[in-house]
Amino acid sequence: MRVFNFSAGPAALPLEVLEQARAEMTDWAGTGMSVMEVSHRGKAFTALAERAERRLRALLALPPDYRVLFLQGGATGQFAAVPLNLAAQGSGADYLNTGVWSDKAIQEAGRLGVRVSVVADEAASHYTTVPERSALRLDPRAAYVHYTPNETIGGVEFPYVPETGAVPLVADMSSTLLSRPIEVGRFGLIYAGAQKNIGPAGLCLVIVHEALLGRARAQIPAILSYARMAESGSMLNTPPTFAWYIADLVFQWIEARGGLAAMAEHNRTKAERLYAAIDASGLYRNPVARECRSWMNVPFTLARPELEAPFLAEAAQAGLTHLEGHRSVGGLRASLYNAVPLAAVDALIAFMREFERRRG
């Protein structure tokens, strides 16, 4: 009996992907072994790795001068990898602060000897907005500009891509990548923890323009070096093979459903329905400015906060899980990643209406 899972990550995976993984669990691709049990350097796995990259490149229409890395350590690892690869000790980088995750990236860069300029900070709106496009004053000598296109906790999303001229734009796309088409050519570097739209936790995708390889500091841990990972096909050491395998199945699942344009339509529809239901209600409220509401993470509060606990308990009873807000902010949150079906959103909306009628 499957539930409707609104987790912000590790998030829901497509049932078809799980069913295929189940069918192949003790004998994958005719090897007589699980995919977890085969050498990452053997023919079967290297074929999988190449196929996964090919699929991802096709989904994203990736220009040939970008490299794709399948790494460990999550986006938090990339908070360190970005400065260590792109900024010499003491050099400057511009960061946009739109919430918890951009702030974490800022803290880590500062710890690692980057002179961080926070060129925009949405504290005044309690991080319910993004900076005005025209208000960004960027340093043309910065090593890079870093931002978080979607803040998973705040539910805030950039409706535009910042213009950074010749300065490489770096984006934490953990909650964005594969949710819709993106124009990769505008970015120097994109990274994303897999546990949203890509696959299981423990895998992190990095998409990096070739021109940014080879700028790393001498004292960089090998596992964080883009150049060394690129030259070894992400196999400088044993990669997270099972997570890579699931990602390949997810890419295939997206492909079969019409690619990223279809995902965008699917995700836009889900988000619009849920925001409309929230806005139409007297009990629920989403605090984010309309033009930058996230398609992926919909935080909401109850006009009567004492109803949060019964809401969560009754939702769980109704087969709607993971609706609690992040522990740092409280409230409620529904995350609507690719694998969350429209039926889940409809069931959530029906439950919310019924709860409001009964308890509101």
Unique residue bearing structure tokens 């990259």:
53
Structural tokens at position 53: 């990259």
Closest to a second copy by CB, 150 vs 281, is 150
Using CB under 8 A, pick the residue from 59, 75, 334, 345 that binds a second copy.
75
**Binding of a second copy at residue 25 (CB under 8 A)?**
yes
**Binding of a second copy at residue 7 (CB under 8 A)?**
yes
Q: Of residues 28, 101, 244, 295, which has the active-site annotation?
A: 101
Distances (CA, A) of 331 to 174, 270, 306, 325: 22, 20, 10, 5
**Binding of a second copy at residue 262 (CB under 8 A)?**
no
Dihedral sign from CA coordinates of 104, 107, 111, 112: positive
Number of residues that bind a second copy (CB under 8 A): 69
Omega before 131 within 30 of 0, i.e. cis:
no
Interacting span for a second copy (CB under 8 A) from 117-125, 162-170, 234-242, 301-309: 234-242
Using CB under 8 A, pick the residue from 137, 290, 327, 358 that binds a second copy.
327
**Binding of a second copy at residue 238 (CB under 8 A)?**
yes
The DSSP secondary-structure symbol of 293 reads B
Are the CB atoms for 96 and 126 separated by under 8 Å? no
Looking only at residues 179 through 218 of this chain, which bind a second copy when binding is defined by CB under 8 A? 193, 195, 200-203, 218
Q: Distance between CA 308 and CA 316 in Å, rounded?
A: 12
The runs of H, that is alpha helices, within 143-286 are 226-231, 241-256, 259-280
Most distant CA pair in the chain: distance in Å? 63
Using CB under 8 A, pick the residue from 66, 74, 103, 206 that binds a second copy.
74
Closest to a second copy by CB, 243 vs 283, is 243
Using CB under 8 A, pick the residue from 112, 118, 184, 347 that binds a second copy.
112
Interacting span for a second copy (CB under 8 A) from 36-44, 124-132, 304-312, 352-360: 36-44
In the bound complex, what is the minimum distance in angstroms from residue 266's beta carbon to a second copy? 18
103 counts as catalytic: no
Q: Of residues 94, 172, 270, 295, which has the active-site annotation?
A: 172
**Binding of a second copy at residue 110 (CB under 8 A)?**
no
Dihedral sign from CA coordinates of 213, 214, 216, 220: positive
Question: Nearest CA to 352 among 304, 283, 298?
Answer: 283
172 counts as catalytic: yes
| 140: β partners | none
Q: Distance between CA 51 and CA 55 in Å, rounded?
A: 6
Closest to a second copy by CB, 149 vs 239, is 239
CA 86 from chain center: how many Å? 21
27 counts as catalytic: no
Q: Which residues bind a second copy (CB under 8 A)?
A: 1-3, 5, 7-13, 15, 18-19, 21-22, 25-27, 31-34, 36-42, 72-77, 79-81, 84, 108, 111-113, 193, 195, 200-203, 218-219, 221-224, 236-243, 246, 319, 321-322, 327
